[in-house]
Amino acid sequence: MKHSKKPEAESPSPGPDGARRQADGDPVGPADEATDLPVAAGEPFEPEPDPADVEAAAGPTTPGSELQRQLSAQQDRYLRLAAEYDNYRKRTAKERGELTSRAQADLAKHLLDALDDLGRFAHIDPATVDPATLAEGVEMVERKFLKALGAAGLQQIDPVDQTFDPALHEAVTTEPALSPEDDHVVSRVFQVGYLFNGQLLRPARVVVKQWNG
């Protein structure tokens, strides 16, 4: 009894590369078949980007670039502070100038009455006025001036019979003292001195007694 011959399964036809490899004696495996898969037309092959390449393209942060960034930030901060300080300096200088002007105007306003009286006496005819009356009027004007200036902070230094103070007095000359108790005591004032709000404007010029024993 004869058995029928079983037909052999047809193996897939190798492609051109496969046939060439078979001819050279190299086996064709699944990996080779996957590698030789054709790419669809119109779809270019784009490999996955390397993370290292992406980081390099983005500009990696280096110690030098970080230092430059901090330096730029500090420079910007310095420039802003300098501009703010300059504006503050100009504003305060303007305010001080305005305050000084207002203080001077207020002082001049207090002197106007005394100045008016002085003007009236300056243009009076001496032949029509008694000398005693004229002297009394001048003294009145002086008191008005001193009152107005005193309200602003002016203080006279008239140290007759006071102990000589080199911080407030200027000795013009000396004269003998009659007793040791009068040593370094002011006997006369040639020119009064002035303080303004505690600040010395002019020392009093005086004659000082000196005990010679």
Ordered DSSP codes for 89-126: HHHHHHHHHHHHHHHHHHHHHHHHHHHHHHHHHHTS-G
Lowest mean pLDDT among 55-69, 83-97, 103-117: 55-69
Q: Residue 148 and residue 117: Cα distance in Å, rounded?
A: 13
Q: What is the per-residue pLDDT for 208?
A: 96
Q: What is the pTM of this model?
A: 0.55
- Model confidence over 11-55: pLDDT tens digits? 444 444 444 444 444 444 444 444 444 445 555 556 666 655 555
Domain 154-213 of CATH type 1.10.10.920: no
Q: Residue 106 and residue 110: Cα distance in Å, rounded?
A: 7
Q: What is the per-residue pLDDT for 19?
A: 44
Where are the domains positioned within the chain?
Answer: 69-152, 154-213
Tokens representing 2? Answer: 């004869």
CB 38 within 8 A of CB 15: no
- Model confidence over 130-160: pLDDT tens digits? 888 888 888 999 999 999 999 989 999 999 9
- Helix, strand, coil in percent for the chain, rounding step 5: 50, 15, 30
